[in-house]
Amino acid sequence: MTTIPGIDPHIPPSGPGCVECTAGGGWWVHLRRCAQCGHIGCCDSSPAKHAGAHAASTGHPIVRSYEPGEDWFWDYTAHRYARDVVELAPPQHHPIDQPVPGPAGAVPDDWRDLIV
């Protein structure tokens, strides 16, 4: 099997929501999955941008969308998208019944005014 730098297809995602937001009571717009360690973080439109912060602090360069129906990868180092790179360990997205933005109960009513 080919080894791609920054991607370990055997690592499952860390959970259904952003690791840091879940721990700290935050909320997110969309979720991204680190392709190297499985860390789930919130996207760059979310208030805390934990996926980008994770990439910057760990050097893990590639995330995959963790949204249902999305299969793209983003390379923070190359600043470009990739598709169909490799099949990662399941699940491929957060639970279908989990709201966007999420998680349930933590999203303020004026969330649209709070994102980029």
What does the binding site for Zn ion look like in residue numbers (CB under 5 A)?
A: 18, 20-21, 34, 36-37, 39, 42, 48, 50, 60
- Min. distance of Cβ 71 from Zn ion in angstroms? 19
Q: How far apart are CA 31 and CA 93, in angstroms?
A: 9
Asked if residues 28 and 1 have their Cβ atoms less than 8 Å apart, the reply is no
Q: Shortest Cβ distance from residue 96 to Zn ion (Å)?
A: 20
Q: Which is nearer to Zn ion, 45 or 70 (CB)?
A: 45
**Strands of 31-34's sheet, edge to edge?**
40-42, 31-34, 62-65, 72-75, 80-83
Could you write out the three-class secondary structure of 35-58?
CCCCCEEECCCCCCCHHHHHHHHH
Q: How far is the CB of 91 from Zn ion (least distance, A)?
A: 17
Closest approach of Zn ion to the CB of residue 30, in Å = 10
